[in-house]
Chains A and B, each alone.
Chain A
Amino acid sequence: MKFEEAARFGTYIAKSYSKDIFRLLNNYRDISASEAASRLGMHIQTVQDFLEAMAELNILSKKEVTERKRPYFRYTLEKQKIAFEIDLLEELENSGENSLEHSKIREKKNAGVRFSLARNGQYFSNVAIWAGKGRERTEKKINLTTAQGKFLYNLPFPDGEYLSLEEIRVKATIEPDHMPEIKDLVEELIQYKVIEVL
């Protein structure tokens, strides 16, 4: 199951009425939202949303029917058992990881950011980014891991030559194991317009 699907499923299954609706679905061959709502004494929209969500997750099937009135859906339980499994390694990869892998980056001109050196002066310990203007201006401070600090220390200057993440990693003598946390930071800094991508 995809992470987003699991999150959606989890949200609905945590509702107090979910078991009652599933019980109805198990007992009836098929059931409409209004029938279930009247049977359970619930608002039809609540039941409708629940059934629609389950149908989108392929736990239920739905069939459109017309009986002297406007068309509506009848829902049938399709799965007796639901396996809830998330592959975190695959799911939680950085969203732009693959595109970043082949991108070249450098610091953006006039990024409006302050880099603070660690005590030993060999890498950065945090980055302070200012967002907004005038009185609305706020500061966001990102505390860096040692690997992230070393990476940023070696980030090309705004007029420097673009380098790939791998090139910067090698220059900064960072172990490849730290790349996920570096990519995470780079994505964040791209969003804040501190880093630009070629």
Chain B
Amino acid sequence: MRKLKPDRGIQGLIFAIFSLLVFFLVLILAGATPALHTLGVIMIIYALAFGLWSFYKTNNYYYLIMVFYMFAVGMFLLLLNFPEDIGSLKTKSNPELKIALLFFYFFAFWMAYVGHKKKLKYRGREIMELAAWDVEDGPESYTERPRPAGVVEYSKYDIIDFGNHLKKNLVCMPFQEENRILLVPVKMGDEFEFLYKPDYDYLSKTWIAFDFDGQVSVHISRKDYLNYKDDLAFDHLCESLGQLFITFADFYMRGNKVRIIDRLNSVKVGLFS
């Protein structure tokens, strides 16, 4: 049974809604072709500002597919001259338009596969669900304090590699400090803050810290705790989150990286939540 409240955030749709508003505004003011060209420019800007920037921040190569896809859509819309007679669109289409359309189909199918495999999904929600899996309801006992959750025996560089692997798969975003790495699970909709806020305050978020002596600590933010439907036993929840990441680290170190994703996929969560 799900422990988290349903995700009704529309943060992920804001850009799409904005683009459609601009499209319809230009459509009313200037006609179909300028509206499609405007939408094409917006798509290219998104490809660069969102896709490339996300790739830079996460090292997730699937973002490049998204960039190419959005770029192909943008180019297609820019090359499209919408005729008065919609039936003549096919006969008037130029070779560049056909190439752009070909790229669009190619990347659209690839994007569909990427979407199906959840390769571009931030996994914060799955993590919080998995952490709460066995945790019973309890009296509201939240505390801001981090909780020691266990000890691992990995080298500093193993821990850094583990953090980078989780980042690449959008499981967590690692932040390296002097003596430790903090892994911050990011939920869909919260990624914009991580991507674009210059002074992103990761310490106030939910995090799992692996210090280079092997100590593992957990901090759950009040916002994330209140996102559960019921008050859960907080001590148990923190312990469970810590154990989850110790298990992930164990999978990673033994070469069973795919088990991490399998475990996350066992939580059936929608692509956009």
Interface stretch among A31-39, A41-49, A58-66, A154-162?
A154-162
Given contacts A119-B178, A158-B235, A159-B139, 13 further A-B contacts (CB under 8 A): A107-B143, A109-B141, A111-B143, A115-B145, A120-B177, A121-B211, A122-B179, A122-B180, A153-B145, A157-B234, A158-B141, A158-B143, A161-B235
A-side contacts of B234, CB under 8 Å? 157-159
B141-178: which residues lie under 8 A (CB-CB) from chain A? 141, 143-148, 177-178
Closest chain-A Cβ to B159's Cβ sits at a distance in Å of: 14
Could you tell me if B235 and A159 are in contact, using CB atoms closer than 8 angstroms?
yes
Residue A23 lies at the interface, judged by CB distance under 8 Å to chain B: no
Q: How far is the CA of A171 from the CA of B215 in the complex (A)?
A: 11
Q: A111-B143, A157-B147, A171-B148 are in contact. Are A121 and B180 (CB under 8 A)?
A: yes
Closest chain-A Cβ to B163's Cβ sits at a distance in Å of: 15
Closest chain-A Cβ to B246's Cβ sits at a distance in Å of: 17
Residue B12 lies at the interface, judged by CB distance under 8 Å to chain A: no
Residue A114 lies at the interface, judged by CB distance under 8 Å to chain B: yes
Interface centre among A117, A119, A152 (most CB of B within 10 A): A117
B-side contacts of A154, CB under 8 Å? 148
Q: A120-B179, A121-B177 are in contact. Are A157 and B211 (CB under 8 A)?
A: no
Residue B238 lies at the interface, judged by CB distance under 8 Å to chain A: yes
Closest chain-A Cβ to B176's Cβ sits at a distance in Å of: 11
B-side contacts of A161, CB under 8 Å? 235
Complex: chain B residue closest to A154, CB-CB? B148
Q: How far is the CA of A77 from the CA of B139 in the complex (A)?
A: 65
Closest chain-A Cβ to B202's Cβ sits at a distance in Å of: 11
A102-134: which residues lie under 8 A (CB-CB) from chain B? 107, 109, 111, 114-115, 117, 119-122
Could you tell me if A153 and B178 are in contact, using CB atoms closer than 8 angstroms?
no
A150-181: which residues lie under 8 A (CB-CB) from chain B? 152-161, 171
Could you tell me if A120 and B178 are in contact, using CB atoms closer than 8 angstroms?
yes
